[in-house]
Structure 1
């Protein structure tokens, strides 16, 4: 290195974030929150033009390049060879589009936000020495990713990663046997829209509202929640509040839920709120928060949101939620896909303000929950590992 190079101020690391969709899913909202937290790197984002998950990020200094084609819906789970072939063709087309981006050519590090984005990025990055960091937000299993999605991800993407960020120990363990020996790995909490924590819980005398936050899709278990709610609260003035909207081909499930509340006799007690921007405010508005996924959840952002706001919480055991909740201390864990077990937990909370107070206090004392700004700093520390040896750095932004 020359003396001039040594004296030249280091520029921020240029990180290109790749998202396979611009629609509002959990992974996309987590990335948007990360980038809105004003990270210390120079951020670019390549994604498809449709969707509004990343609207407004330009105000935070993020350069957007919406050039990626939209992938076919259902390609990862299809048993149709024709649809799988069409999906693979779309992945290759997206890789070609990514290679044509000026952001791609200038990046010091590529960060793939999802499994599909990882396949696109790995295909585009072949023959280059730019490190690829992949975010593991789903369990790396055929059940979670779909048979074709799992095969494509584990064969086309994971062998080429320099590092992985997992949202829970459970998620990381699901990929352990598929990662290159030299790949760096870390477990980092995903940003959950948390600005500050509640340290002094407020627990009302009676339960008036029970809430659930999450995209309306079957495996999230809104139907389980509604059956449990009906078993405990049907015919009372207690309300069930569902925050979340369907995406892609999930509108049929929303209609199924609307039909179910009529069948259960609780149509007048259920509020379908659609997507909610201010999740902390929604969590504060309910007396009990529910997480009801029917299979192990990789992270369970609802769980973090409930704990951070010191809310009495019931969650499905297994996966990420079991890493955060000590049942009976800072929440209650119930078996998955068991409306009767969830109903018993809701009844226990409805019948005892003292139990709700104890769980709320335990939630407030839960260690390790990070604000979005703290999440950004933790991500910066990991990305620093892959920064070029000279000429760039990640420094904390004041």
Structure 2
């Protein structure tokens, strides 16, 4: 079957959740499509090694460093955005559509339509709220979407509802969840798991894993506070600070050095062996203090066949059936999180049952094949 020609556009070349999803999409359409990045980084060789064509349209740090909460600062970037949009329009000639993988990429792609580019699809992967987006940025993004987007793909119903609540047209929205290939989890050996646990020198202690960049809203402190009174529990924190959040990291390290927690918190930084690390854990925790648009680590934890405990908000409510495919706890409530961890420790049969049902749910609902079919159906409705 002939594939549509898609120009995938992203402003960043780091490996966040959105970019990991982009890798899957770009690889699936690699025979007819290509990726355009606004900066160079680890994403480029990762794509090229998979046979994906990648080009760069360099953007300044003024563009790349602009936060979604930047407010009026965004207006100063308009001349450069227009310049980049002209380049994107040139690169897009011959393609059927542009897939904008981030808000900055979408704004540029929307401007590119004024210069003759093909239809634009915005893959919205953020919950648009006042907490993370300034009023001006919300207005700009939603107005441009209503005017120029042919389709707004969202990574959860929660993301779609927030877009509509911000003034976005409901008719534009299609839900396309993130997809996952379970093979990397299914092939992890018992020996590799034991090597991880031996390297941590934890013996048979309970190991809880939290996989996320270190940021206050990701809630690592919630987990550390929760295990204070659980002396048999160790924690691995997989990730590091990305956006000037060193002050929060200092707070976490001060907390981890308190007598009740000392030598029970293991800092692993960014790692490539996520499946093995997750399989080495007894429990996977998701502790965001605000609604998560999707919650990639939740599905990964389920694919690792581990019981997952997650903050009860946002996309997590679509990934977990509480008490069956995982456990939920109220946002920011370390006491409730402590109780859920204790429940799994006290009842291993229950923990195994949760892990089993979570695995089946992830394999059934979020397989890469299922999500690619969903993406394909969504873009086939676009008039190119």
- Does structure 1 residue 17 correspond to structure 2 residue 17? no
| 86, 100, 104: which one aligns with 2:87 | 100
Give TM-score scaled by structure 1 length: 0.83
- 1:179 paired to 2:175: no
Give the superposition deviation at 1:163: 0.5
Question: Is 2:289–2:331's contact at 8 Å kept on the other side of the alignment?
Answer: yes
Compared with structure 1, are the counterparts of its residues 192 and 264 closer, same or farther at alpha carbon in structure 2 (3 Å cutoff)?
A: farther
Counterpart for residue 66 of structure 1: 56
Q: Distance in 1 between the 2:259 and 2:40 partners? A: 37
Contact 1:194–1:280 (8 Å) recurs in 2: no
**Alignment check: 8 A CA contact 2:184 2:275 kept:** no
Cα distance 1:222–1:181, how it changes in 2: closer, same or farther (>3 A)? closer
**Deviation above 4 Å: which 4+ runs of structure 1?**
196-199, 204-207
State the Cα distance separating 1:194 from its structure 2 match.
3.8
- Tell me, yes or no, if structure 1 residue 130 matches structure 2 residue 118: yes
1:293–1:68 Cα change, 3 Å: same
What does residue 47 of structure 2 align with? Answer: 57
Do the aligned residues in 2 keep the contact of 1:193 with 1:279 (CA within 8 Å)? Answer: no
Match of residue 371 from structure 1: 367
Q: How far apart, CA to CA, are the structure 2 residues paired with 1:180 and 1:128?
A: 23
Q: Would you say the 8 A contact 2:180–2:368 is kept in 1?
A: yes
Which secondary structure does the structure 2 equivalent of 1:165 belong to?
strand
Q: CA-atom RMSD, angstroms?
A: 2.8
| Aligned-partner Cα distance in 1 for 2:157–2:204 | 36
The 1-side partners of 2:323 and 2:205 are apart by: 18
| 1:214 match | 212
Offset, 1:92: 4.5
SS in 1 for 2:33: strand
Shift of 1:59: 3.0
Aligned residue number for residue 6 of structure 1: none
1:236-269 deviations in Å (ceiling 9; x for gaps): 4x42011122213223322322222113642412
- Is contact 1:134–1:164 with CA below 8 Å preserved after alignment? yes
**What is the distance in 2 between the residues matched to 1:355 and 1:206?**
19
Query: Does residue 1:149 correspond to 2:149, yes or no?
Result: no
2:127 match: 139
User: Where does structure 1 lack aligned partners over 5 or more consecutive residues?
Assistant: 1-9, 389-398
Go from structure 1 to structure 2 and tell me whether the alpha carbon gap of 1:196 and 1:49 turns closer, same or farther (over 3 Å shift).
closer
Instruction: Name the TM-score, length of structure 2 as normaliser.
Output: 0.86
In structure 2, distance between residues paired with 1:119 and 1:210: 40
CA distance in 1, matches of 2:145, 2:325: 38
2:261 to 261, 266, 287: 266
The structure-2 alpha-carbon separation of the partners of 1:96 and 1:192, relative to structure 1 and needing over 3 Å to count, comes to farther
C-alpha separation in 1, matches of 2:310 and 2:219: 11
1:298 maps to what in 2? 293
Match of 1:326 in 2: 321
- Helix, strand or coil at the partner of 1:12: coil
Q: Deviations over 1:337-386 (max 9, x none)?
A: 11111111111112221221121122133264333344334323322333
Residues 69-126 of structure 1, C-alpha deviation per residue, up to 9 Å, x if partnerless? 14253532246xxxx33x3333551342242244322321011111222112112222
Residues 153, 365 of structure 1: alpha-carbon distance in 2 compared, 3 angstrom cutoff: same
SS at match of 1:268: coil
1:112 pairs, out of 100, 104, 125, with 100
Q: Structure 2 CA distance, aligned partners of 1:26 and 1:92?
A: 29
List aligned pairs for 1:314-353, cutoff 5 A. Answer: 314-353=309-348
Unaligned 5+ runs, structure 2 = 195-202
* Post-superposition offset of 1:293: 0.6
